[in-house]
Structure 1
């Protein structure tokens, strides 16, 4: 009798652990995040934003990008030379993920220009960056040039190429919100 009870308990524990493992294995459904171009852009901004210490959903971040996609920051180096750096989504998470969480970071889109032809889109998205949602003044502004593809099922980010605003390179009025 004791052996039977022990076997039943062992089976129940095994089934419970197996069930929990299967729940963990189920990928999250991010299909709504990429159903429209607007949802895709909003998800891109939201996924990297959060207060200091708040974890980011890097699984969603990577889901937004077509395999082979690049993130390409551009700007001047310490010698004043214009440079670009090519990163995969994984490279971006490795190089910037920790900083975003440790410092807090909110990137807010303030203006968008969209050109679409067939299944491709080019988005010029002007942004402001803050350390906290409560900050009144951004510490940085710039423009993200985002190329996207719609494969008939969803939108994919193909590339994000961006530069920050500087005193020498101000954002033109036509890429700012209309007053």
Structure 2
């Protein structure tokens, strides 16, 4: 009986200790998704940082609904537009090293929101910089972001984007 009590006591201490460690390492991101605005701002903030700065990938993943997609589009060598479907983990795998090695800031310069019920479509115009101190962006484009409010929080369902080109400038209605 003493052995059983000892084993139970050790198990309880171990579980309690592990639970406390886990809780201390987990961050509460609920404020980041409490409003549509907070969710969009968190998206831009989490991928942005100076050269050498690690990103908070736990927050990045928290923004997305399971099975969400990130969908870049681009014109191939033949002049045909293509798209690629990525999960948030794919985006991290493909972008993490480049973001840290080069520095990257994506700043929203205009937003158009359409909402029906619990779904929203956001056209978010962005400018990209290597450093926050840069004055001229090296790239601009539009993120088409689809979101869902499930009654508890906002979720990013998809981000579909394309970059501005000389032949395809951003329309005036999507600029400041």
How big is the alpha-carbon RMSD for the aligned residues of Structure 1 and Structure 2?
A: 1.6
Q: How many residues align?
A: 162
- Structure 1: runs of 5+ lacking an equivalent: 1-10
CA apart distance, 1:97: 1.3
Q: Distance in 1 between matches of 2:145 and 2:54?
A: 24
1:74 aligned to 2:85? Answer: no
Q: Distance in 2 between matches of 1:30 and 1:96?
A: 22
Partner of 1:164: 163
CA apart distance, 1:81: 1.8
1:94 aligned to 2:93? Answer: yes
TM-score with structure 1 length normalisation?
0.87
Q: Distance in 1 between matches of 2:112 and 2:144?
A: 10
Partner of 2:7: none
CA apart distance, 1:57: 0.2
CA apart distance, 1:80: 2.1
Partner of 2:107: 108
Q: Which moved more, 1:79-88 or 1:150-159?
A: 79-88
Q: Distance in 2 between matches of 1:173 and 1:23?
A: 52
CA apart distance, 1:79: 2.8
Q: Distance in 2 between matches of 1:78 and 1:97?
A: 26
1:137 aligned to 2:136? Answer: yes
Q: Distance in 1 between matches of 2:51 and 2:20?
A: 29
CA apart distance, 1:102: 0.8
